Copies of this chain bind each other. A is one copy, B any other.
Amino acid sequence: MNETNKIKVGIIGGTGYTGKELLTLCSNHPKIDSISIFAQSTAGKSIYDIFPDLVGLMNDIVVKSADEIDYSLDIYFIALPHGISLKFVPELIKKGKKVVDLGGDFRLNSVDLYKKWYKFDHSESDLLSEKTYGLADTLDSSNYEKSLIANPGCYPTSVLLGLIPFIQTYSKKVLSISTVSYSGTSGAGKAPNASLLLSEMHGNAKAYNLNSHRHEPEILQVLVEKGLGGAPFSFSTHLLPLASGIYSTSVIHLKENLDESEVKSVYLNYYKNSPFVRLRETPPEIRWVLGTNFCDINLSTGEKRIIITSSIDNLIKGASGQAVQNMNKLYDWDERLGILPRRQTL
């Protein structure tokens, strides 16, 4: 391979769980020449100290200060809490850089939605329109002409990959959609939190943020784009006693019966070129997708209803794996580069 084709990557804010996965993916990526990490609280530290399990798997990197971003790199991944990407993205875009934002600051399409669901005034309404919502397995190369990719949320990735082919084809037959998702605790990040101690969550499970999770408007805006009309959609989130993995169950009550094999054909056709979506004859298991960028999907029809189950690794397909897939697509490389085959634990 011609070394001159390789790119330089920046990761801003990447010393949490998501950042760790990004690092390991990027450090094995054949097209990446160098990785720079910029962060606040961990500036000056070595990656080996932050993630001792990476010793021997990649070269060590010293974290730079997020106050002194090096703007000479080619692409920037941003893994910051919401509200903070806004401080970095506009400047990067202005300088002509490619940006994949793994946070929530550019996923929604309107300033109003940010006001309602995120409770802040979003200052970059133009960028909200100019971004690409990077649900990679539903996009082809024509969708990657913009520089800013809003990497989808973990729950929305699992839910939308399961629902989109159905909604595109059968939205008029839908009476209601009820999606119930369960996630491992790593989605809540690495910050100390008494309610997420193993002592609290071992042997436990619970719902949280009912009727108020920010991923609901994110999912809904895509479903509406794909043709969902008046039928109501709801989304409920729960915690599982495991570190990584999301399981989403979408129960769709229908106005009439559907032929299961016909629906399966729709899905097989929709995902025929997607190396990362696996259609299953039985409901998927979280362990099938752990450490991978796969989304596994099963369809089960009943009397005037269909139940769609889907599962992903929240840190990979739901964050860093999809981010790298988006980078691959931005550069028009094989979308599997650096991601497949490979598997990785938290």
Contacts and interface: CB of A to CB of B under 8 A. Distances in A.
B244 A346 contact: yes
A52 to B, nearest CB: 6
A205 B285 contact: yes
A346 B241 contact: no
Given A201-B198, A284-B206, A288-B52, A57 B191 contact: no
Copies of this chain, count: 4
B191 A191 contact: no
A196 to B, nearest CB: 5
Contact of A241 (B198, B236, B251, B301): B198
Interface stretch (A75-83, A137-145, A172-180): A172-180
B341 A28 contact: yes
Nearest to A304: B232
A168 interface: no
A55 B206 CA distance: 18
A342 B56 CA distance: 10
A20 to B, nearest CB: 8
Contact of A345 (B232, B285, B290, B341): B290
A8 interface: no
Nearest to A188: B199
B340 A278 contact: no
A166 interface: no
Given A244-B345, A301-B211, A304-B232, A283 B206 contact: yes
A45 interface: no
20 contacts: A53-B287, A56-B276, A57-B341, A178-B180, A182-B182, A192-B194, A192-B197, A198-B200, A198-B241, A198-B242, A199-B346, A206-B284, A206-B286, A207-B283, A210-B283, A232-B305, A243-B345, A291-B344, A313-B345, A344-B345
